[in-house]
A = this chain, B = another copy of it.
Amino acid sequence: MIVAIDTMGGDNAPFSQIEAGISAIDKLGVEVIFLGDEKTIKSKLKDMQLDSDKISIIHCSENITNDEKPVTAMKRKKNSPFVVGANLVKEKKADAFISSGSTGALLTAGTLIVGRIKGILRPALIVAYPTVKKPMILLDLGANANVKPEYLNQFAFMGSSYSKAIFDTQNPSVGLVNIGTEETKGSTLYQETHKLLKENKKINFYGNVEGRDIPSGVVDVLVCDGFTGNIVLKLTEGVAIGLMKLIKQSLMSSLKSKIGAMLAKDGLKKVKSKFDYEEYGGAMLIGIDGIVVKAHGSSNAKAFYYAINQAKKTYDAKVVDSIKEMAKEFADVKQEVE
């Protein structure tokens, strides 16, 4: 497997990305192509006492930042890692492209350059969401702010395929985010989606999942529109951070609790690691004809390594092929819905 790595995007670029890539060569047995400033990459490899002639590098002279409009930036910046990486995947010169740079640029490059699988109405961003029990597959995280029931129905299938690949889930249960368990609950969009999911024989539909039950991990796959998914993911992170901050403040408020906190430190750390995004990899753009992964913008080497690991698992399990197979049936429905 060949993995193209963007070394220009993210808070800790390029070093974390390079370190993660080197670990992946070593531990996962993949080949890597580093995309970015050749001189910087070579100098970092030299620091790591590695022979840079043996590692593929494609020089990129420019980058696309979060502030730029993805579509126009992509047209102008042909030599950015996004355009180069997506083209490598499209031309099958790489099996995956991974970046911790601009989400918008990655989505655009994935959708427009790598391209949608025929029959798939909209690609979606998918993530392993940490729950009390086990990680749960959540999609869409923001690739589609405006959706139709038919998109969500496909998300359900794609999520199932991905859950099987990543977590070896047998017959994964699929839930629909909603504001009540009854099928008449929610907006028109969610009521109609509920109907479609119920009728969909290709998935194991559990029913609606309310906000309160999301963190308990009652299902294997959780489906919603990109607006809701983005709020769910980020709010979870926000609440966890806020709560941990309050706990810390509170424990530091008296000598007694300070001593208590010291003794309980390891236990509290264990909890933090459960909600730690580092080990869960990144968000994958699913529904396109290739593997494109968005690692967290603040990824360190460990987090970026897990994003590569996730691409590897997706590759090994042939997730793209199984979605292609499913999408064939949708190919004729496509016209009327779009």
Contacts and interface: CB of A to CB of B under 8 A. Distances in A.
A121 to B, nearest CB: 17
A337 interface: no
Given A227-B228, A235-B235, A261-B264, A246 B186 contact: no
**Which of A145, A231, A259 has most B Cβ within 10 Å?**
A231
Interface in A176-233: 177, 179, 185-188, 190, 210-216, 225-228, 230-233
A284 B241 CA distance: 29
A167 interface: no
Contacts of A262: 260
Contact of A264 (B210, B216, B228, B264): B264
A270 interface: yes
A251 interface: yes
Interface residues of A, number: 61
A285 B233 CA distance: 28
B227 A186 contact: yes
Given A145-B187, A253-B267, A260-B267, A131 B242 contact: yes
Interface of A: 131-132, 142, 145-146, 177, 179, 185-188, 190, 210-216, 225-228, 230-247, 250-251, 253-254, 256-257, 259-268, 270-271, 274-275
